[in-house]
Amino acid sequence: MSDSPERSAGRSAPLTKIIMVSSAGSAIEWFDFFIYGTAAALVFNKLFFPQADPLVGTLLAFTTFAIGFLARPLGGVVFGHFGDRVGRKPALVTALLIMGGSTTLIGLLPTYDTIGAAAPVLLVVLRLLQGVAVGGQWGGAVLIATENAPEGRRGLYGSFAQLGVPTGLMLSSLVFLVTTSKLDAQQFASWGWRVPFLCSIVLIVIALFAQFTLEETADSRESRHDEEGSGASRSPVVEVLRKHPKNVLLAAGAVITIGSGFYLFVTYMLSYGTEVLGMPKSTVLNAVLVGAALQVPALMAFGALSDRIGRRKVYLAGAIGMGLWAYPAFVLMNTKQWPLVTLALVGGQLFFAAMYGPQAAFFSELFTARVRYSGASLGYQLGVMLGGALTPIIATWLYARFGSFVPVAAFLVASAAVSSVCVLVLSETNRRVPAVEATSQADRDVQPAAS
């Protein structure tokens, strides 16, 4: 089945506008999400859990970090329903506004010394809102990009939305690098850590820009029109779980190593480098910054490559590479030499890019337009919750328990193995037209891929 000329023409939208909304909005949203992880590794254990010993305080800080992941599937469900029933644009704009507001409020939050136990409670509530928002934003940004893509370029266009991760990571690392280098420890703990959170008000401006300039995608308009005429299910989430359970579960499994690998190489390695190895914060932050900068062209390159040779091949290479890189990365980190530390983190982030670049197109092509926001969001957010939420906690506990990085590396290898198997079972999708109609090929459960 192929698109009609009218639909193909109607799907196109100005490239600059797609990049602005899907990339810039996603970048600031992920900036908001990442600054929390960086702050959890550097100061939250002291500011919000001062009564605990250092190890327990770090674990508690990472627990609040994990709570954001636990809320992401909820965001995927809520905004998936909203995005499939009402439209991609209103769902995306609402998610951006929630993230901008909750992150700004974290920057204004009193610490434990000021309001006692209420401080960590409020921190948890705002982190939950962050999780719900980022759980809803990803699907909107991805579909704005892929549903506007010309035929044969969905991988490249989908990578524009994925650029928000390294860009947000660069911004968060850069802001913390500047504040930690310009302020002494007392100033940073007193007020410097708040600066990145207060910068998040910019996200509200981007949300307003999207609201007034962005048009709904043709696929979304047509799928909602078809649904109104057919009297179809009013719950896209229920429908996608009923019709596509394998797609959702395999997509979640494929994402596990994205979550575990990324947050091990970014969040945990920051704590490992500073707390375990005693390196200056700036050394590790600079290494993270270099890796994030290289991710930007890598994501686009891997997305474009998936348009040529297939999503599965590129994604699978990244998953296997992530597992193989786990042990060497720690060996390089343990040298404490900046070039080798940078190589360790850059390698991990490039293997991540090989998976994350084609992922937007890969997942959107697994579902028809009427349930695409729900299906893609739910699969992605479940996988990231399983792979990312507990990674810093598990890694911290494993090192404390065994006094060695080897079990931590083994944990990443295991997650990479799970994702690799799931990708092998999923069918190739890059030749598939992501149809609006419910009777298309994407509506059928995935079949084991042919060799």
Rounded mean pLDDT of 403-417? 95
- What are the tens digits of pLDDT across the range 201-243? 877 777 777 666 667 666 666 665 555 555 445 687 888 888 8
What angle separates helix 154-162 from helix 338-364, to the nearest 10 degrees?
Answer: 130
How many domains does the chain fold into? 1
Distance in angstroms (rounded) separating the CA atoms of residues 254 and 241:
17
Which tokens in the block code for residue 50? 């001062």
Whether the predicted pLDDT of 296 surpasses 60: yes
23 assigned to some structural domain: yes
Of the candidate ranges 192-206, 210-224, 373-387, 401-415, the one whose mean pLDDT is the lowest: 210-224
Distance in angstroms (rounded) separating the CA atoms of residues 51 and 40:
16
Q: pLDDT grade, residue 1 (50/70/90)?
A: very low
Contacts by residues 9-15 (CB-CB < 8 Å, ≥ 24 positions apart)? 10/218, 11/147, 11/148, 11/149, 11/150, 11/217, 11/218, 11/219, 12/148, 12/150, 13/148, 13/215, 13/217
Q: What is the CATH number of the domain that holds 100?
A: 1.20.1250.20
133 assigned to some structural domain: yes
Would you state the pLDDT for residue 121? Answer: 85
- What are the tens digits of pLDDT across the range 196-205? 888 878 777 7
What average pLDDT does the structure give for the chain?
Answer: 82
**Buried b / exposed e across 144-163, counting CB within 10 Å, b at 16+?**
bbbbbbeeeebbbbbbbbbb
421 assigned to some structural domain: yes
Of the candidate ranges 117-131, 326-340, 394-408, the one whose mean pLDDT is the lowest: 117-131
Domain that holds residue 192: 11-217+233-443
Would you state the pLDDT for residue 318? Answer: 97
6 assigned to some structural domain: no
Q: Among candidates 180, 160, 111, 168, which has minimal Cα distance to 134?
A: 168
Q: How many CA atoms lie within 13 A of 249 on its CB side?
A: 10
Would you state the pLDDT for residue 443? Answer: 44
Would you state the pLDDT for residue 7? Answer: 41
Rounded mean pLDDT of 11-39? 70
CA–centroid distance for 18 within its chain: 19
Query: Positive or negative CA dihedral for 442, 252, 248, 156?
Result: negative
199 assigned to some structural domain: yes
Distance in angstroms (rounded) separating the CA atoms of residues 217 and 92:
12
